[in-house]
Amino acid sequence: MSEMDMYGADEEEEQFYEAVKILLMAIQAVVYVLYDLVFSIRGERIRRPLTRRPVTSSGYIYMHKILDKDPQIFREVYRMYPDVFRKLCSILKVKTPLRDTRHICVEEMLATFLLVVGQNNRYSEARLIFERSHFTVSKSFNKVLKALNTIAPEFMAKPESVPPNIRESTRFYPYFKDCVGAIDGTHIPATVVGREVSRYRNRHGKISQNVLAACNFDLQFTYVISGWEGSAHDSKVLNDAISRRNGLKVPPGKYYLGDCGFPNRRRFLAPFRGT
């Protein structure tokens, strides 16, 4: 073979390898494109499906077992007697969209809600009792919460226009017939470090936070706001309470009583100094 023929063969072999290299790069690019089409939607990567936890019926069995046991024990745990519990479940099924699902019944959803609210338990404790996932417990809680908010205006007792403590006293009626309660501030010791210490020092020289509370004539707290520095004046805390979106609300034509630390203003009545 001549030198010219050997040179031509080497050139053909080099061109062949170059074509194979280009083909492999094209295949790699196609694979990347197909991967993006299969595993992404609108630019967001889809998580690969996880292994599903087995569906259990232990929560359903537990609920129907405890409903037939001692009513007093059921009331201590879930804050109502079994017959009241069943009645509430039937009302939720009729008056709200709450329904049994393939994996969980309304009774278990309501029991989960009552366990968290009535006993101040965390989701993790409800998970252990009903053997459900954290997601299922959270979803059940929020479903019941929305359902109860739907029927709340129909079933909640509205307060009387004039409290019995005022109406039945010749000393207070009719002078305080529009009063709905009282407000006051109190200083609670606080632990503060750094530059914030001076702001939390009250007029007695102690480190505290100024807490404002409102209560009705049954001595039930209706509103509490905390976190203000001990040096803050009561009137400043009150201004913050009534300016918040979910703050202290006063019905039209009504008012709260306060001490001389609060100014006289609409919806709040304070006594004269020295009274």
Pairing between strand 208-215 and 221-229? antiparallel
Answer yes or no: is pLDDT of 46 > 70: no
Q: 111-161 pLDDT, tens per residue?
A: 999 988 888 778 888 888 888 888 888 999 999 999 998 888 888 766 667
Q: What is the largest CA-CA distance in the chain?
A: 132
Give the span between the Cα atoms of 147 and 210, in whole angstroms: 36
Asked if residue 227 lies in contact with residue 209, where contact means CB atoms within 8 angstroms, the answer is yes
d(CA 231, CA 206): 10
Contact, 63 vs 105, CB < 8 A? yes
What stretches of the chain adopt beta strand conformation (E)?
A: 40-41, 44-45, 179-189, 208-215, 221-229, 255-257, 268-269
pLDDT confidence of residue 69: 82
pLDDT, tens digit, 9 for 90 and up, residues 55-110 = 456 777 788 788 888 888 888 888 889 999 999 999 999 999 998 888 888 888 99
Compute the Cα dihedral for 239, 241, 242, 244 and give only its sign.
positive
Can you tell me the distance from the alpha carbon of 275 to that of 186, in angstroms, rounded to the nearest whole number?
Answer: 20
**Structural domain spans, the chain:** 58-155, 164-269
Measured CA to CA in angstroms, residue 57 lies from 22, 61, 219 at distances of 58, 6, 44
With 0-12 CB in 10 A as exposed, 13-18 as middle and 19+ as buried, what is 193? exposed
Q: Mean per-residue pLDDT for 40-67?
A: 57
The tally of CA atoms less than 13 A away on the side-chain side of residue 99 is 3
pLDDT digits (tens, 9 = 90+) for 87-100: 999 999 999 999 88
What is the residue-averaged pLDDT of the chain? 79
- Give the pLDDT of residue 191: 83
